[in-house]
Amino acid sequence: HKPGKLVKAALEKAVDKVTELVNPPIPGTPGSEPPSLDEPTEPRGPLPPKPDQTGPETVSPTGAPTGAPQLSRGQQGEFLTTSTGARLHDTDHSLKAGERGPTLLQDHHLREKVMHFDHERIPERVVHARGYGAHGVFVGYGTASNVCMAGFLGDGVETPVFVRFSTVLGSRGSADTVRDTRGFATKFYTKEGNFDLVGNNMPVFFIQDGIKFPDVIHAGKPHPDREIPQAQSAHDTFWDFVSTHTEATHHVMWNMSDRGIPRSYRMMEGFGVHTFRLVNAEGETVLAKFHWKPKLGVHSLVWEEAQLAGGFDPDFHRRDLADAIESGAYPQWELGLQIMPDSPQQTFEGIDLLDPTKIVPEELAPVQPIGMLTLNRNPQNYFAETEQVAFHVGNLVPGVDVTDDPLLQARLFSYLDTQLTRLAGPNFNQIPINRPHAPVNDMLRDGFHQHAVHAGVAPYRPNTLDGGNPFVAKAQDRPLVEVAQPLPRAVKVREAPKSFADHFTQPRLFWQSLSPVEKEHLVNAFTFELGKCYEQAIKERELLVLAGVDATLCAGVARGLGLPVPATARLKKVTPSPALSQVGHTWPPDGRIIGIVVDPADLDGVRTVRETVLAGGMVPLLIAPTGGPLGDSDLVAQRTFHTARSIEFDALLVAGNATDPRVALMIQECFRHAKAIGAWGTGRTALEAAGCGTGPGIVVDDDPSKVLAEVTTLLGAHRVWDRFPPAIA
């Protein structure tokens, strides 16, 4: 039958609909919405050929992010289906020859279900396997425009971002609060392409040349025979490596300091580590280092607390971040730049800017704020987003270029290469979380997991068959800038520059910049970690290294290990950098957790205090003997004596005479961890019974509001360090 007129019209309409679904608008073209990461999309199909594909404005349909018909899979429609969309009437029983008989090979649903499950895991990252991410927005201040042409740094320009925080050494399921460096990787989905700032919470690195990266990681990872210890540097191979590589000393000092055990991802600094070369619109260049400064200040756990958290709440940091974002306490960091002249020597105040084991003290080159990052959305799906995000230090935008730092140079290879195994093929930038928000028009084709349906026949240049598309960008089209950097006449060598040779001045600078309590923590950390080594020779060798840093540090660790103190040579004089210390500042208490121990028979003051805590932007958690409503009130216990543990609280208030030994433990732990503790009414008796009735940071008063006010002031300094005056000057 020939279709009648009406049928034909209906068919045409349906075809139009399908064409629209398969060919959603290209981002950046008139009428198209910018692609959103909320809406991971199906790939775009071929566009109908355009007669006017003659100019660079025309974007051909390659794997750019798209608006698309189906938003995401799973838990969306009404019926359970197979992966190919057939509805299922049963997913709980396999197809069998009789109800007690063998399963039939023809049960395609069973086979699909189990086959897919069998392949759910992908290789974890070879380093930084344990991590947690969040979406957010970066807003430029426009203050960097004199040194950097990157569009996303423009005044008021808003750029979506995804940030992934991580530990380095542990496996994907390891604990969050181990002593380690933390990764701080940010993907800016700028209009000029993705810019990845793949940094750490420490400004220096263990090694000066990327060729040694496999070595330092082999040493830090668990021993290959027993695969222990997990997520620790407190073992022989790590200390064997660092004690034989004095270039690692500076990073080791940071790791053993309180920076190695952050209180929260929200309270960490971030550093791009390397020196980058920035270019402005006039083509002028500077050398620069990127810094992230957290609005909440830089704070750490104390060691015992970190260890307890590893057991009681291995997800401590990811829970903290997710909860804060969920509750609207959006963490913020200011991005800043240290700017140094781009001199032929690439040094500043005698510091080789190509050496990633060196900092430039902030007192010499102040960090200049250039924009604000706010994390405001948790991932919807851990695997799709946090696990599959692929960072690469080579993802640059016009205005940011790399330098010849040999560590950075090796990274430029490694980050692309590692994704081939981890994400199974070369098309990882088509995974929704990695898709740029800028239009993509590359000539990359095919490969595993190709999602784009490319139109055109000529993915090469020049071509005449696709109207010459793609076209190369001219200067006014803002292409990437590779700075024409003059190179000295050189001989091919495998050598480190002589200017990389000083491995001790900056570790000493770090030590001398710390407050006494931070120094004491550092001595304790070295003593603990080396105390876990079996080999005497390793401990002795590391003591020799420490003798090159500082006599007090070395003697403190030697004493703890019960080993002789090696002689210290005359050490260089350094000028401390106060910016390196975490102590001595005052910070907002936003998002801090206040535990309130309640006796349900004595609720006076609890309600007011709870409301004042909330109004102050902090989080009150009521702790009672059992769950449920408190007495006859509408207050509800959020923690019980059974579920609460001190590690969860930044400060503890005791509002009732809770005589339970678990409360006494909570008070004692908060006391040991230098947390502010307050009590009123019969709560004082509980403090006294725990042996913590008086001392610095113990606030008691009849008026609960006064107690809270004082405790909040103490929180501004993070901890009550004067409770335990350090023995070190």
Q: Which token pair is 692? A: 């913590």
Does the protein bind ligand HDD through residue 375 (CB under 6 A)?
A: no
Residue 44 assigned as binding residue = no
Residue 461 assigned as binding residue = no
DSSP reduced 3-state for 602 = strand
State yes or no: cis peptide before 470, omega within 30 of 0: yes
Got the DSSP string for 491-543?
-------GGG---SHHHHHHHHHS-HHHHHHHHHHHHHHHHT---HHHHHHHH
Active-site annotation, residues: 128, 200
Residue from 150, 197, 198, 253 in contact with ligand HDD (CB under 6 A):
198
Residue from 324, 337, 410, 523 in contact with ligand HDD (CB under 6 A):
410
Map the footprint of ligand HDD across residues 284-323, applying CB under 6 A. Answer: none
How many residues touch ligand HDD under the rule CB under 6 A: the total is 26
Residue from 325, 337, 370, 407 in contact with ligand HDD (CB under 6 A):
407
Tally of CA atoms within 13 A in the half-sphere of 258 that contains its CB: 25
Residue number with CB closer to ligand HDD (279 or 433): 433
Q: Which token pair is 354? A: 């190509």
Residue number with CB closer to ligand HDD (68 or 129): 129
Map the footprint of ligand HDD across residues 337-356, applying CB under 6 A. Answer: 356
Residue from 170, 199, 297, 361 in contact with ligand HDD (CB under 6 A):
199
Angle, CA of 99, 102 and 106, to the nearest 5°:
100
Segment near ligand HDD (CB under 6 A), from 80-88, 412-420, 514-522, 599-607? Answer: 412-420
Got the DSSP string for 89-117?
S-SSS--BSSTTSPBPTT-HHHHHHHHHH
Q: Which token pair is 328? A: 């609207």
DSSP state of 181: -
Ranges assigned E (strand) in 602-700: 619-624, 628-629, 636-637, 639-640, 651-654, 676-679, 698-700
Map the footprint of ligand HDD across residues 376-395, applying CB under 6 A. Answer: 389-391
| Nearest in space to 712 (alpha carbons), one of 588, 585, 583 | 588
Residue from 418, 499, 682, 685 in contact with ligand HDD (CB under 6 A):
418
Segment near ligand HDD (CB under 6 A), from 307-315, 408-416, 671-679, 709-717? Answer: 408-416
Residue 107's Cβ-count burial label (10 Å; 0-12, 13-18, 19+) is: middle
Distance of CA 334 to the CA centre of its chain: 15
Taking residues 201 to 240 in sequence order and writing x for each that binds ligand HDD by CB under 6 A, - otherwise, the string is ----x----x--x---------------------------
Q: How far is the CB of 257 from ligand HDD (least distance, A)?
A: 17
Cα–Cα dist 654/256, whole Å:
34
Does the protein bind ligand HDD through residue 270 (CB under 6 A)?
A: no
Residue number with CB closer to ligand HDD (210 or 683): 210
Residue number with CB closer to ligand HDD (231 or 407): 407
Does the protein bind ligand HDD through residue 273 (CB under 6 A)?
A: yes
Residue 484's Cβ-count burial label (10 Å; 0-12, 13-18, 19+) is: exposed
Residue number with CB closer to ligand HDD (185 or 306): 185
Cα–Cα dist 394/569, whole Å:
42
If you search the block for the tokens 């991802």, which residue do you land on? 265
Cα–Cα dist 106/96, whole Å:
9
Q: How far is the CB of 85 from ligand HDD (least distance, A)?
A: 33
Does the protein bind ligand HDD through residue 131 (CB under 6 A)?
A: yes
Does the protein bind ligand HDD through residue 411 (CB under 6 A)?
A: yes
Residue from 152, 292, 316, 415 in contact with ligand HDD (CB under 6 A):
415
Does the protein bind ligand HDD through residue 185 (CB under 6 A)?
A: yes
Q: How far is the CB of 169 from ligand HDD (least distance, A)?
A: 12
Cα–Cα dist 605/332, whole Å:
33
Cα–Cα dist 54/434, whole Å:
30
Residue from 23, 62, 194, 200 in contact with ligand HDD (CB under 6 A):
200
If you search the block for the tokens 């008989």, which residue do you land on? 101
Q: How far is the CB of 129 from ligand HDD (least distance, A)?
A: 8
Q: Which residues are annotated as a binding site?
A: 125, 164, 213, 411, 415, 422
Residues lying near ligand HDD in the complex (CB under 6 A) are found at 125-128, 131, 164, 166, 183, 185, 198-200, 205, 210, 213, 273, 356, 389-391, 407, 410-411, 414-415, 418
* Residues of each annotated binding site for heme: 125, 164, 213, 411, 415, 422
